[in-house]
Structure 1
């Protein structure tokens, strides 16, 4: 496991990376606002997501999956019947996410965007979100110590993120890798107010294909 450490600030936060799924439990640490399981994506799974990313009519799909018992991804995502490796992997991640946070239901989004969905840096007003990019460029993020939070949202004064002083330079922008399973702590995680992970969708080339999923809480949890 490697830790990207922050200086000793009053509200210091850090991103934690590991090669085993156990690293995701580090999200419960007060000084962590992102935990990333850095995993490889198998060739059969890659082939399926490449095929799905080019299929028309699935730019974004949202559904709710019950995880009170064993999640039945086949019933919740029947349109993925032709992609068994993707179905199986999503089921595994749903089960892991639900167990980690003791959830009864999980909100799932599958997206194959053709442009950046959230092109500006922002924080989420949620407790925590799981994001993984199967294909294409991963999510951009800023280390906690590199962000001037007064420049988020309306604080940018109408300027772009690059011009507003939100971060010192483009060298401070980091990007998750395809296959990374990331837990991003938001502003509504108790004790994390003012320290939610700052992130954005990456810019995309005209011929680029992406496929990503995200999970959100849909039942009470007490992180």
Structure 2
């Protein structure tokens, strides 16, 4: 996957026009789809992609050998693979996993012109953010390497007055936040999602509404997130 310069692509506008009428989200299978996050009405972008067997095998070994693994680090854009090699467990398939994670880091730093990325990689046995919410930041990248992906709501299916304390102590299912269970969307395993938050300029109150999926007994998820450092 090649990363297309965000400024160049947004200025051309020809690519983004293909997605008009899709509401607040865009889905594609090419890295250039990620630049659609710069479009004003878009607050969620999904890059669909498969994971190699080696990457999936490494994630399973990580779960087996480090079931409580939790990495937080600021990664410089210049030598990300070297930093990752020193931070990740030396298990079979490590090089393939580092290559894949480095690709995501390079796309994220290129897209937002960053010197450093705040990286978090976790093995999870519970939902970290079980309620639908909006992030109070610029734009977060999330990718689930193993397990169920992030759940989200389209703008047309969410009553934002029911977020946070507006739920009046009721669950997401009971509060009227969304009309019915079929409204809940879910990102595929391996896909990359960009979630525009309230911290994005001009986007206050309009961030992507999302939550972590419920985790079944004995289920493990391997999730990576990236933020502006």
TM over 0.5: yes
Structure-2 residue corresponding to 1:28 = 38
1:5 and 1:47 mapped to 2: Cα distance?
A: 39
Say if 1:141 and 1:173, in contact at 8 Å, map to a contact too: yes
Per-residue deviation, residues 29-74 of structure 1 (Å, max 9, x unmatched):
001001111011111111111111222354321111011x3x3333
1:155 Cα shift? Answer: 0.7
Structure-2 residue corresponding to 1:187 = 198
1:4 Cα shift? Answer: 8.9
Q: What stretches of structure 2 of length at least 5 have no aligned partner? A: 1-14
TM-score normalised by the chain length of structure 2:
0.87
Larger mean Cα displacement after TM superposition, 131-140 or 55-64: 55-64
Say if 1:124 and 1:196, in contact at 8 Å, map to a contact too: yes
- Equivalent residues in 2 for 1:1-223, closer than 5 Å: 3=19, 5=21, 13-56=23-66, 58-67=68-77, 69=78, 71-78=79-86, 79-82=88-91, 83-218=94-229
Per-residue deviation, residues 140-166 of structure 1 (Å, max 9, x unmatched):
001111111111001111111111111
1:47 and 1:214 mapped to 2: Cα distance?
A: 20
Q: What stretches of structure 1 of length at least 5 have no aligned partner? A: 7-12, 219-223
Which structure has more helix as a fraction of its residues?
A: 2
1:180 and 1:76 mapped to 2: Cα distance?
A: 20
1:183 Cα shift? Answer: 0.7
Say if 1:187 and 1:196, in contact at 8 Å, map to a contact too: yes
TM-score normalised by the chain length of structure 1:
0.89
2:118 and 2:161 mapped to 1: Cα distance?
A: 30
Number of paired residues?
210
1:77 Cα shift? Answer: 4.7
Give SS of 1:211's match.
Answer: strand
Q: 1:174 to 1:5 in 2, by over 3 A?
A: farther
